[in-house]
Structure 1
Amino acid sequence: MAALPAVLQSEWTKVRTIRSTVWTLVATFLVVVVMGFVISLLTRLNFVQFTEHNRNPFDPTTTSLAGITLGALAIVVFGVLAVGNEYASGMIRVSLAAVPQRGPLMGAKTAVLGVLALLVSLATVFAAFFLGQAALGQYNTDLGQPDVLRAVFGAACYLTLLCLFSIGVTMMLRNQVLSLGILVPFLLLVSPILSIVPKVENVARYFPDRAGSAAFQVHQTSDHPYGPWTGLAICAAWAAAALLGGYLVLKRRDA
């Protein structure tokens, strides 16, 4: 049995030597930070027009994190490519030959990708928050206000859980093109559309992306009939189910 530190080192080497995975993390950071800054700036310059028809209280935290939706797509692509590249290149056979035990292999892969996603997500959301608040000027808030720090940290957890969800889905499908073909349309089109369709919207609220988004909102809205931690728990349950499915497929099928 391969030593766990060696397996972790191997997984870390795989991630940092694949350009596509590195660039998707860079894209996650840039999309969330730049989009949050631009929307925050536009909100300050057009504050009356943006808020006069809004029945919910103005939330400067969520405004600065407005790029999370597109950032989530980028970090999902990171998770898919980090796993899918190994299947596409055939390197999974080498990995299984070096580490025949499926549990330690998937555990190390998930740990490395999950920790990396969390660190990048934390840097991303805090940078987006501080720059966004600067752009909001007199309409800004700070981390000392009620639930603001929880919302910013929740945003990082949300991105990380979506990454883990995409890892599990890719492990099950064992094909990065198929995984992207399912996950990207689901997050970009299916989930947002179903969330506004009568009679279906109540189900869509429990999709991983919709539920998890409650974690980075300071004020609870009608879109989420549950609190931020419950929403994050629902998202975590989806991620855990996907990872379990990925493990079962890896355990029962050859490379």
Structure 2
Amino acid sequence: MAATQVIRSEWTKIRSVASTVWTLSLAVVVTLALGILISALSARDFDTMSDRDRLSFDPTFISFAGMGLGQLAMIVFGVLVVSNEYSTGMIRTSRAAVPQRATFLTGKLAVATALALVVGLVTSFATFFLGQAMLGSHSASIGDPGVLRAVFGGGLYMMLIALFSMGVAVMLRSPMLSLGILMPFFFLISNILGNVPATKKVGRYLPDQAGSKIMRVVTPVDDSTPYGPWGGLGIMALWVAAAVIGGYVLLRRRDA
């Protein structure tokens, strides 16, 4: 099967499965809603902040407060795109139609990644503008130094989260096992390692903590991270590459 046919087939699969459509919609809604709420609360509490907190006040990053929950939906999307076929047994049909495993995997990941990027960018720009509207006089402008990079980076961050999840799902093949590893990894292990002084230097090299650096414009007063916004996104990209390569290697070594 030609590459264009594989891409068309994968697009049909994604949009015909209600769960994948709903998870992307949920990523948008949750990110926007929480971003608006936190921005409004931050504007209300600004006058009571300490001088130290005001120095670290980052209106752009505050508007991305919903990204934490939004990435949960992106993780689910990435896992479902890959593992739905394994759980239903349709993977055998897909593999028979596209025997070239590199073509099969590339087509699937390309379509899902492009969709995640579009949704991520729309969500990132929307939550920024809505969040700044809530912040009022404390807001940032899209033309301010570093702001456009942060907003565009927010979309890239969400895309990379989805792609990383796809790579893990290809390796594990099971939706329950994939989610059972990814959810604790991002929402428990990463937070613990990133906030405990003894492990903080290790935690900042995890994909979510490194990648989220791209969304910051103002560096916190106590931040000693040895890399910048693009360096952090680069570290995240290396994690994603490792997951995708690992998935491809295992896909080649085993039967569908």
Q: Which TM-score tier does this pair reach, normalised by the shorter chain?
A: over 0.9
Partner of 1:83: 82
Match runs of 1:104-143 below 5 Å: 104-143=103-142
Q: Is the 8 A contact 1:35 1:66 kept in 2?
A: yes
- Local SS of the residue matching 2:53: coil
Partner of 1:226: 227
Does 2:6 match 1:3? no
Q: CA RMSD in A?
A: 1.2
Q: Is the 8 A contact 2:56 2:219 kept in 1?
A: no
Q: Is the 8 A contact 1:220 1:227 kept in 2?
A: no
1:180 maps to amino acid: L
Q: Is the 8 A contact 1:51 1:58 kept in 2?
A: no
- Local SS of the residue matching 1:58: coil
Partner of 1:245: 246
Does 2:28 match 1:29? yes
CA distance in 1, matches of 2:119, 2:34: 17
CA distance in 2, matches of 1:247, 1:56: 46
Q: Is the 8 A contact 1:75 1:159 kept in 2?
A: yes
Partner of 1:144: 143
Report how far residue 223 of structure 1 moved.
Answer: 5.9
Match runs of 1:53-72 below 5 Å: 53-54=52-53, 56-72=55-71
Report how far residue 73 of structure 1 moved.
Answer: 1.1
Report how far residue 194 of structure 1 moved.
Answer: 1.1
CA distance in 1, matches of 2:170, 2:49: 43
Q: Is the 8 A contact 1:191 1:207 kept in 2?
A: yes
Does 2:115 match 1:102? no
Partner of 1:188: 187
Q: Is the 8 A contact 2:171 2:251 kept in 1?
A: yes
CA distance in 2, matches of 1:179, 1:206: 21
Going from structure 1 to structure 2, the CA distance change for 1:155 and 1:5 (only over 3 Å counts) comes to: same
CA distance in 1, matches of 2:55, 2:161: 26
C-alpha distance after superposition, 1:181-224 (max 9, x if no partner): 00011111110011112221111110000100101000234163
Report how far residue 135 of structure 1 moved.
Answer: 0.6
CA distance in 1, matches of 2:134, 2:245: 42
Going from structure 1 to structure 2, the CA distance change for 1:33 and 1:42 (only over 3 Å counts) comes to: same
Report how far residue 52 of structure 1 moved.
Answer: 4.6
CA distance in 2, matches of 1:53, 1:35: 25
1:247 maps to amino acid: Y
Q: Is the 8 A contact 1:129 1:152 kept in 2?
A: yes
Partner of 2:211: 212
C-alpha distance after superposition, 1:11-61 (max 9, x if no partner): 001100111111110010011111100111111112123455527431110
Q: Is the 8 A contact 2:146 2:217 kept in 1?
A: yes
1:231 maps to amino acid: G
Q: Is the 8 A contact 1:214 1:224 kept in 2?
A: no
Gaps of 5+ in 1: none
Identical aligned residues as a percent = 53
2:209 maps to amino acid: R
Q: Is the 8 A contact 1:211 1:224 kept in 2?
A: no
Q: Is the 8 A contact 1:205 1:223 kept in 2?
A: no
2:244 maps to amino acid: L
Structure 2 length-normalised TM: 0.96
CA distance in 2, matches of 1:9, 1:223: 46
Q: Is the 8 A contact 2:63 2:132 kept in 1?
A: yes
Gaps of 5+ in 2: none
- How many residues get paired? 254
Report how far residue 230 of structure 1 moved.
Answer: 0.4
Structure 1 length-normalised TM: 0.97
